[in-house]
A and B are shown apart, each in its own frame.
Chain A
Amino acid sequence: MTLLSVEALSKEFGGVHAVEDLSFAIHPGTIHSIIGPNGAGKTTLFNLITGIYTPTSGRIRLDDKDIAGRRPCELAALGMSRTFQNLQVFFNMTAVENVMVGHHLHLDRGLLASLLRLPAMVKRDRACRAHAVELLEFVGLSRYVNADAASMPYGALKRLEIARALAAKPRLLLLDEPAAGLNATESREIDEVIKKVAASGVTVVLVEHDMKMVMGISDHILVLNYGRKLAEGTPAEVRANPEVVAAYLGGQG
């Protein structure tokens, strides 16, 4: 039983084949990593899966439902959530407000209720806020609850995006380079968070360059090169694959 499957997926930009004839499957409850040199098409793949790009050809299926080309907000309703390589934090809001927006689909979105501040809406909003504070604790950001996102350090912002993505109660969470730009301690903290998320039942797919993290937490690894699948398998299998070593790992794994 697969959660997400990708078949013969291709994406072209002008003459550049960012992703070419890619096929793979992701099973629920696993931590799945996608690695490859820069320019291998990892972020493009993420953008295709999460509806930001439309494929040139090929299929993407979530629970056997065709989702290629659907808008990101629709995919969120189907249980998909993600973080970004280039932070897309709402810098004009506080940390807790950022996370509360993540909960958007589960809230009362009626205009009238909002304008008139109906008691039912207020009650749900308070619950939402409490839940957001919990999530901030979960990712280790309790001290930043009411801080302006614009004043938070980079490492904290990366965790904030994860908290926001979790607020959407996803079944499938895609993390685009969650450890990018972090030092060793911060990377370990993110590592812990990802493990906690996976333990809570969410399927995690991550793009990463930090090999230690990838080898340490992944159940399954997909290796891309020039937009094509180079190899896939367990960490041990991938580490041992000579093509992967040649193209990417180049020595110690």
Chain B
Amino acid sequence: MWKSPRTGGLGLLAILLAAAPLTFPNAYFYDVGVNALFNAVLCVGLNLLIGYGGQISLGHAGFFALGAYGTAILTGRYALPPVAAMLVAAGGVGLLAFVVGRPILKLKGHYLAMATLGIGIIIHIVLKTESWLTGGPDGIGVDPFHLAGLAVAGDQAWYWLAAGLLLLAVWLSLNLVDSPVGRALRAVHGSEVGAEVVGVDTARSKVLVFVVSAVFASLVGSLFAHKNAFITPDIGSFFRSIELVTMVVLGGMASTFGAVIGAVILTLLPQFLAAFEDYEAMVLGAIMMGTMIFMPKGLLPSLRLLLSKRRAA
């Protein structure tokens, strides 16, 4: 057994990330790989909110889209360097999440879900409508990414960047979960009033994790925009938000590696179903229903439970 999930799991992840390209039959797979890795980073952040924090967000693609559009507009119209643009956009999204989060996170359950849904859809509609700024439904081109003069171009380069980013994100997430802040967050999920009476500021805790996960989404959105060189408002649609939640839930809530696995599976799935493109929606819907009915804890925790039962038997 691994001495600690941190070093063991991270090590395994690093090996898998390094080895994966060896299995790519052609360059196209790098593109898919990058998307999977971006989704994984997004889901690690979202999992902090949903899995560990016990909250829900049906509008997270909105933060992703704001990061993407923020970057596109700041680098395009205002000629900001990409890293600066990315940070400014993330700052803006973080601020929005903070302002919106305070009132929203007082809600629970269905009400919270609907409020986050509303936010996400409003963001989506604004992006579609303000075409003078965003290019409207037809989308907008994005300048390439460069880091201190060094251009990042080509799917291979993006793959290694995304892989590094994922390792960083997983490391941060694992650290957070096993820390006072992380335990306080998980306590809020376990029992809000129980956490309050030992001094946890539950309102602040929830807003904090909401902002952190929104900033994760924004940063990934910015990088995605550069990599794709072109974005449309649909990257922030309700459907995209649901996809993200499904990835977190499929892989296993309250499990950082579960979130990664869920993201990778659901990003790769359409590739394997390419022949069955027409059935894609039905398969996704069936997966969502099936997972929640038969494996409500998600893949990784359910597997773990199965393995520990076998060991005990």
Contact = CB atoms under 8 A, between A and B. Distances in A.
**A and B together in one complex:** yes
Given A88-B191, A101-B200, 10 more contacts: A73-B201, A88-B197, A90-B189, A90-B190, A92-B54, A92-B186, A92-B189, A93-B187, A109-B181, A128-B180
Interface string A159-178: 00000110110000000000
A125 B179 contact: yes
Interface in B205-229: 208, 212
B199 A90 contact: no
18 contacts: A71-B196, A72-B196, A73-B199, A76-B199, A88-B194, A90-B187, A90-B189, A90-B194, A91-B191, A92-B254, A98-B187, A104-B187, A105-B199, A109-B184, A110-B181, A114-B176, A114-B179, A167-B198
A68 B55 CA distance: 29
Interface in A143-187: 164-165, 167-168
B202 interface: yes
Contacts, number: 109
Interface string A81-109: 11010001111110001101111110111
A183 B262 CA distance: 46
Contact of A114 (B54, B175, B191, B200): B175
B181 A76 contact: no
A117 B175 contact: yes
A73 B181 contact: no
B183 interface: yes
A183 B159 CA distance: 61
Interface in A106-122: 107-111, 113-117, 121
Interface of B: 54, 172, 175-176, 179-184, 186-187, 189-191, 193-202, 208, 212, 254
Contact of B193 (A72, A115, A117, A125): A72
Q: Which of B176, B194, B200, B202 neighbours the largest number of chain A CB atoms within 10 Å of its CB?
A: B194
Given A50-B197, A111-B208, A73 B202 contact: yes
Contacts of B198: 76, 81, 101-105, 164-165, 167-168
Nearest to A149: B190
